[in-house]
Amino acid sequence: MEILQYIFGGIITFLLAFVVGMTFGGTRRKIIARIQNRYGPPIYQNFIDAFKLFSKTSAVHHGAMHYMGPAFLMVSSVVSLMFIPILRDGGWFPNLNFHGDLIFLLYMMVFGSLGMALGAGQTGNPNSAIGVTRGLAQMVGYEIPWIMALVAMMIQFHTTSITGLMDVQLQSGTWNLFASPFAFVAAILASLGMFRYAPFNIVGAPAELASGPASENGGKYLFTMMSSHSVFAFVKLTLFADLFLGGAGNLVELLIKTFLLYMIPVLYGVVNPRYRTEQAVRWFWGWPTVFGIIAIAYAVWST
């Protein structure tokens, strides 16, 4: 029975993540349009796009890995989702492993990129491979400040689990945003790279690379990738809310917090052009890493 409960809860969580991620994506398109002095598509435009992609009636494949690439991506998103406490007290959204471990999560979150990279490689499109090399390089860039922020939190609060960090915030009554501000800054700067919006949209780079790894994928593959990206956006936002903003007691609180967090990469992105790959990598090894080091020093000093 417990298994059934988990599966049912997992499906509900997935649907929530899907809907929220898609809506946020649509909001982003609307915001970008308004900043560019356009009317913009409706907020639900992403649902229409997704359903259209789903209802495409034909597809091509280049071999077995072409099927597996989107599947790997989905694994990464969904399993990460299962590991993150959505609300402070479970409720309708149970976790597979309520002691979600941050290091496990780190690896789970990069798993998708690598799997998708394999799928993109099989298509034989040179643009895909170029996009993949850029994406992996950028990943090495932003993982450094990100792991620094996480290590700082682990040192400061003596736990490596997300729920542990949430409990710490609940007990002390302050958000980690204030308890370890430098870690928050480093993590947020790293998140700019994680979201891959401008100026770090070097992977897709529509005008240069014809959407990079996705260039041979249409219809059902693109639908899978799009849903997975939406879920993943929700995962990242919820993770940030859990780590730094004390998690959420109910859905409204969660939506407000995640939306505010989401605005940081979005608004940073709309006013920026695109970096070159090595510029992006070095950007992450500049100030974000400095903040990461300060965060670790602060954590060591404060314990």
Partner 1 sequence: MNVIFLILILFLVGAIVTAFAGKWSSLLQDGLFILAVTIPAVLFFTQVEMNQLVGWTRGGIHLELGLTPFSYFFAILVLLLGVASAIYSVGFMHGKARKSYYYFNYLLTIMAMLGILFSRDFISFFVFWEIMTWASYLMVVMNGTRTQEIGIKYFVFSAIGAYAMLMAIVLIHAQTGNFLIQDFIDTYPSLAHGRQILIPILLLVGFSVKAAVMPLHVWAPGSYAYSPMSFTSVFSGALSKMGIYGMVIVFVTLLSHLPEGGLIRDIIAWMGAMTAVIATLWAIAQDDARKLLAYSSVGQLGYIVIAVAIGTPMAMLAGLFMAFMHGLFKGALFMVVGAVEKQTGTTDFTKVTGLIRKMPWTFLTALISIIALAGIPPLGGFIGKWMLYESLILSDHYLLVIVAFFSSTAAFLYAYKFLFGFFLGQEEEEWADVKEAPITMLIPMLALAVGSILLGAFPQLILKPINNGLISLGFSDSYGKLWETSTLFNEWGDKVVLQPIIYAIMGVFLTTLAFTYFRNRKRTRYVSTKDISTSGEIPLAHENLTFKENFFQPFLRAVEPVMKKQIDWYYREFGAGLEAIFNFTRRIYSGNGQTYALYAVIFLIVLLLLNGNLFGQ
Partner 2 sequence: MQNDSRSQKIVDIIQAYARRHSLWILAYGTGCGAIEIPSTMTSRYDAERLGVRGAATPRQADVLLITGYLTVKTLKRVIRVYEQMQSPKYVIGFGSCAINGGMYWDSYNTIKMLDQYIPVDVYISGCMPRPEAVLSGFGKLQDLIKAGVADGPKRYEENFDWYRANQKKIIKNWNFADYNW
Asked whether position 218 contacts partner 2 by CB under 8 A, the answer is: yes
Least distance (Å) between residue 43 CB and partner 2: 12
Helix (H) or strand (E) holding 189: helix 181-195
Asked whether position 196 contacts partner 2 by CB under 8 A, the answer is: no
Asked whether position 82 contacts partner 1 by CB under 8 A, the answer is: yes
Output the six-digit token pair for 76: 């990464």
Near partner 1 by CB under 8 A: residue from 12, 31, 33, 68 = 68
Q: How far apart are the first and last CA of the chain?
A: 43
| Beta carbon nearer to partner 1, 27 or 228 | 228
State the DSSP code for 43.
T
Scanning 19-27, 49-57, 64-72, 230-238 for contacts with partner 2 by CB under 8 A, the matching segment is: 49-57
Least distance (Å) between residue 105 CB and partner 2: 31
User: What whole-number distance in Å separates Cα of residue 157 and Cα of residue 33?
Assistant: 42
Least distance (Å) between residue 265 CB and partner 1: 20
Near partner 2 by CB under 8 A: residue from 37, 171, 173, 303 = 37
| Beta carbon nearer to partner 1, 161 or 169 | 161
Among 150, 172, 148, residue whose Cα is nearest residue 159: 150
Output the six-digit token pair for 110: 């990069």
- Give, in degrees to the nearest 5, the angle at Cα 243 between 223 and 286: 85
User: What whole-number distance in Å separates Cα of residue 214 and Cα of residue 117?
Assistant: 9
Give the sign of the dihedral formed by CA 163, CA 165, CA 166, CA 172.
positive
Q: Which neighbouring-strand residues pair with 172?
A: none
Asked whether position 39 contacts partner 2 by CB under 8 A, the answer is: yes
User: What whole-number distance in Å separates Cα of residue 291 and Cα of residue 148?
Assistant: 9
Near partner 2 by CB under 8 A: residue from 29, 88, 134, 196 = 29
Least distance (Å) between residue 272 CB and partner 2: 18
Instruction: Compose the 41-60 pattern: x for residues touching partner 1 by CB under 8 A, - for all others.
Output: ---------------xxxxx
| Beta carbon nearer to partner 1, 43 or 75 | 75
Task: For 253-277, give one letter per residue: b (16+ CB within 10 A) or e.
Answer: bbbebbbebbeebbebbbeeeebeb
The phi and psi torsions of 161 (rounded to 5 degrees) equal -105, 150
Near partner 2 by CB under 8 A: residue from 6, 19, 31, 41 = 41
Give the sign of the dihedral formed by CA 94, CA 177, CA 302, CA 287.
positive
CA 264 to chain centre: 13
107 binds, among partner 2, partner 1, none (CB under 5 to 8 A by kind): partner 1
| Beta carbon nearer to partner 2, 217 or 277 | 217
- Among positions 127-186, residues that touch partner 2 (CB under 8 A) are none
Give the footprint of partner 2 on this chain (CB under 8 A): 29, 33, 36-42, 45, 48-49, 51-52, 55-60, 204, 206, 210-211, 214-219, 222
